[in-house]
Amino acid sequence: MPRYAFKMFLNAGQREEYKRRHDLIWPELKALLKQAGVSNYSIHLDEQTNILFAYLERSERHGMDDLPSQPVMRRWWAHMKDIMAANADGSPVTVTLDEMFYLE
């Protein structure tokens, strides 16, 4: 299963709120991500830089490219944009990371 990693940028002082919102993640969002072929998804915070590191695995025929058009995804972005860097369309600012090593 292909691995995918990226980083996002949390606003200063928002650690607890970010964690709280993800502890209460909407069931319909979880279902949408799984439908899109996403699994083994985790997000980690570097507290020194407020950079969020995200890692997930996705099926060969994943539907992640369609997620931005989904209403539940857009609602989640609107819910999160006050505590993290966001693009004009409300999506989080992300930077894809290239895999440099993998121990199987």
Catalytic residue among 22, 44, 62, 79: 22
Give residues with Cβ within 8 angstroms of 3, minimum separation 6.
55, 56, 57, 99, 102
Distance CA 62, CA 80 (A): 24
Q: Is 62 considered catalytic here?
A: no
Distance CA 36, CA 22 (A): 19
- Positions marked active-site: 22
